[in-house]
Amino acid sequence: MSHEYVPEIATDREGNEYEVQGWQDDFYGGKLGFWLFMFTEVMMFGAMFLTLAYYNTLHPQDFIEASASLNRLLGGTNTVILLISALTMGLGLLKMRAGDIKGAKLMIWATIILALLFLGIKAVEWTAEYNHGVFLGLDAMQPGNEHSMPFGKILFFGMYFTMTGLHGFHIIIGIGLMLWLMKRINSEKVTPDHHILYWNIALYWDIVHLIWVFVFPYYYMIGGGDIVGGIAHGH
């Protein structure tokens, strides 16, 4: 399906016609617009990180102990998975720009599979935490009862579930965007010459990865300790 540009014509009072400047192929504009959207993401997650940092200063010991109880092996595996998915997404874009559409599509599928793997591991982790009574709304996470965790840990896990949940939601949105991108490529609306959509979805995936780059050390690593750790291992 071709996209022939039909210019808009403006007419002045004397009846002279002028072609209106079209911005349909404004690659930089499209990219800049998407960066503006990504700044809202930075501000949203940035505010959460700063809140987390503030809570941390109020309850440093609780934060270290809570961090030590998270499963670093699963968190680390997810870190590597996201890292490789950022590569597949980037290589896919590169292939598209170089004219290798089939290769680009393969790379998108690889990214989708890695994203699903990430979600699967996250689900295993959350389930283990739920089974050990650590989850939003459970007694341990509510102050003022016999099962309550120390208050700093309640704040830590509250932020942990909120932020990893929101991050997971971004992963799901990313999968949806990649499926949509596949549809657009199949219908030839995204081509090697017209790939701004691919570029921006790759940028989105990078910011999802970028957020995890800070989520992982803040939640999983500040507690140090043994290599595995983790509620899932009964600690």
Partner 1 sequence: MDTNTTIDYQVERKRYYKVLVGLLLLTAVTFVQPYIFHAGTFTAQMFIAVIKAWLIVMYYMHLKGEKLIGTMALFSLSLVFVFFVIVIGVDVANFQFGAESHITAAAEHTAGAAHAATPAHH
**Token representation of residue 194:** 């017209």
Cα–Cα distance for residue pair 44/24, rounded to 1 Å: 30
Query: For 120, what's the count of Cα atoms within 13 Å in the CB-facing half-sphere?
Result: 8
For 211-226, letters b (16+ CB in 10 Å) and e give bbeebbebbbbbbebe
x-marked contacts with partner 1 along 149-168 as a string, rule CB under 8 A:
-xx---x-------------
Q: In this chain, which of 130, 177, 210, 235 binds partner 1, going by CB under 8 A?
A: 210
Size of the site for partner 1 (CB under 8 A): 52
SS3 of the chain: helix, strand, coil, percent, to 5? 70, 5, 25
Q: In this chain, which of 11, 144, 145, 234 binds partner 1, going by CB under 8 A?
A: 144
For 52, other C-beta atoms within 10 Å of its C-beta total: 21
Least distance between partner 1 and beta carbon 77 (Å)? 11
Distant-in-sequence, close-in-space partners of 52: CB < 8 Å, separation ≥ 6: 159, 163, 218
Name the CA dihedral angle for 224, 227, 231, 235, rounded to a multiple of 10 degrees: -80
Cite the DSSP H helix spans in 60-100: 60-68, 72-97
Strand, helix or coil for residue 17: strand
Least distance between partner 1 and beta carbon 165 (Å)? 19
In eight-state DSSP terms, residue 147 is: T
Stretch that binds partner 1, among 1-9, 107-115, 176-184, 222-230 (CB under 8 A): 222-230
Instruction: State which residue, 155 or 175, has the beta carbon closest to partner 1.
Output: 155
Least distance between partner 1 and beta carbon 14 (Å)? 36
Is 214 near partner 1 (CB under 8 A)? yes
Q: In this chain, which of 7, 10, 32, 61 binds partner 1, going by CB under 8 A?
A: 32
Is 177 near partner 1 (CB under 8 A)? no
Q: In this chain, which of 111, 209, 230, 231 binds partner 1, going by CB under 8 A?
A: 209
Is 90 near partner 1 (CB under 8 A)? yes
Residues in contact with partner 1 by the rule CB under 8 A: 27-28, 31-32, 35-36, 39, 42-43, 46-47, 50-51, 54-55, 58, 72, 76, 79-80, 83-84, 86-87, 90-91, 94-95, 97-98, 143-144, 150-151, 155, 195-196, 203, 206-207, 209-210, 213-214, 216-218, 221-222, 224-225, 227
